[in-house]
Amino acid sequence: MATIETAEKSANGANEILTYESVDISYDGLKVVSDVSFALHEGECLGIVGESGSGKSTLIRAAMGLLGAGGLVTRGDIWYRGLDLPDVPRDEMRRINGEEIAMIFQDAGNALCPSRKIGDQLYESMLEHGNAERAEFTENISRLLERLRFDDTDRILGSYPFELSGGMRQRIGIASAMMMNPKILLADEPTSALDVVAQKDVVEEMKIIKDVYHTSIIIVTHNIGVARELSDTLLVMKDGHAVEYGPTNDVLTNPQSDYTKKLISSVIGLKR
């Protein structure tokens, strides 16, 4: 198994921005994540792959304090700029979430209110993090959407969620996470509910976020193709354990663990 040192090298000596140290996570006393360590560096995209129930979503939810009532980080630390996130008070966490660490989910479209226009909803979430004039907001959001290569931003902002396709709603979800220009973007299966064409659009959008905004990204996905396309480093999870960790290319071309080998061989690729 590649160590954290190998991964550090791959990120060209950039600073660690989020560090997991020997993290255990339990739900109602049942351990679901066991002794996981990795580091996310500035500007890096880390992919976490594994199948349902392997603990990959739980891992990134822990950083946001979104484990829910029964969930607890029972051992280890999650460091972000000198703060051990599981110990950060709720009020401080409310400020960090969204402004500094943002998260997007598998179906961001479901998080949108069905009866209000997209522009109104995005403005409201902006107000939660401070004052912004509507005109200034509209200018900023239009610029953001244009950079993320949305066509026809006025129409999108004036639409209700049901007037947009699932893929478009997901891209809006990602754009809304980027409104506060967070340092870290955590993405939990952002393409899994989409067909291949919409998936490609979302992947392209995430690439722009990485290249233009230099946001550090963790993407949780069970799709090896998406991980290969986006991530610099790859962490493979199996039954709550990290079974492999290293530069994406090394892990995919020369997998060390039996599980990673099985995972890669299960992918039914296109024979071009």
| Alpha-carbon gap, residue 233 to 80, rounded angstroms | 19
Q: Does 151 bind other proteins (CB under 8 A)?
A: no
Which is nearest to 250 in space by CA: 237, 271, 236, 267?
236
Question: According to the binding rule CB under 8 A, does residue 161 interact with other proteins?
Answer: no
Two structure tokens written together for 24: 């255990």
Could you say which residues in the range 43-62 bind other proteins, by CB under 8 A?
Answer: 51-53
Q: In the sheet where 71-80 sits, what is the strand order?
A: 30-41, 16-27, 71-80, 83-84
Q: Is 258 in the site for other proteins (CB under 8 A)?
A: no
If the CB atoms of residues 16 and 229 are measured against other proteins, the closer one turns out to be 229
Spatial separation of the C-alpha atoms in residues 221 and 227, rounded to whole Å: 7
Region 212-251 residues binding other proteins, contact defined as CB under 8 A = 222-226, 228-229
The piece of 121-129, 151-159, 161-169, 211-219 that touches other proteins (CB under 8 A) is: 161-169
* 90 near other proteins, judged by CB under 8 A: no
Report in angstroms the alpha-carbon separations of 11 from 56, 98, 214, 268: 22, 25, 13, 30
- Residue 104 or 194: the one with the smaller Cβ distance to other proteins is 194
Q: Which residues ranging from 180 to 199 are in contact with other proteins (CB under 8 A)? A: 194-199
- Tell the burial category of 82 from Cβ atoms under 10 Å away from its Cβ (0-12, 13-18, 19+): exposed
30 binds other proteins (CB under 8 A): no
Q: In whole angstroms, how far apart are CA 265 and each of 51, 52, 178, 196, 239?
A: 14, 17, 35, 20, 19
Strands in the chain per DSSP E:
16-27, 30-41, 45-49, 71-80, 83-84, 101-104, 184-188, 216-220, 233-238, 241-247
CA 77 to chain centre: 19
- Quote the tokens at residue 135: 């005109």
How many residues of this chain interact with other proteins, rule: CB under 8 A? Answer: 30
Is residue 207 involved in binding other proteins (CB under 8 A)? no
Q: By CB under 8 A, is residue 159 in contact with other proteins?
A: no
Minimal distance, residue 229 CB to other proteins, in Å: 5
The reply to whether 200 sits near other proteins by the rule CB under 8 A is: yes
Q: Please name which of 177, 114, 116 lies closest in space to residue 144, comparing C-alpha atoms.
A: 177
Nearer to other proteins, 52 or 131 (CB): 52
Rule CB under 8 A: say whether 140 interacts with other proteins: no
Does 75 interact with other proteins (rule: CB under 8 A)?
no
CB of 230 to other proteins, least distance (A): 9
206 binds other proteins (CB under 8 A): no
Amino acid in position 179: M
Minimum distance between the CB of residue 32 and other proteins, rounded to whole angstroms? 15
- Which candidate, 240, 260, 266, places its Cα nearest to that of 54? 240
**Least distance in Å: CB of 254 to other proteins?**
19
Is the CB of 53 or the CB of 158 nearer to other proteins? 53
The verdict on 115 binding other proteins (CB under 8 A) reads: no
Residues that bind other proteins (CB under 8 A): 51-53, 165-167, 194-200, 203, 222-226, 228-229, 262-263, 266-272
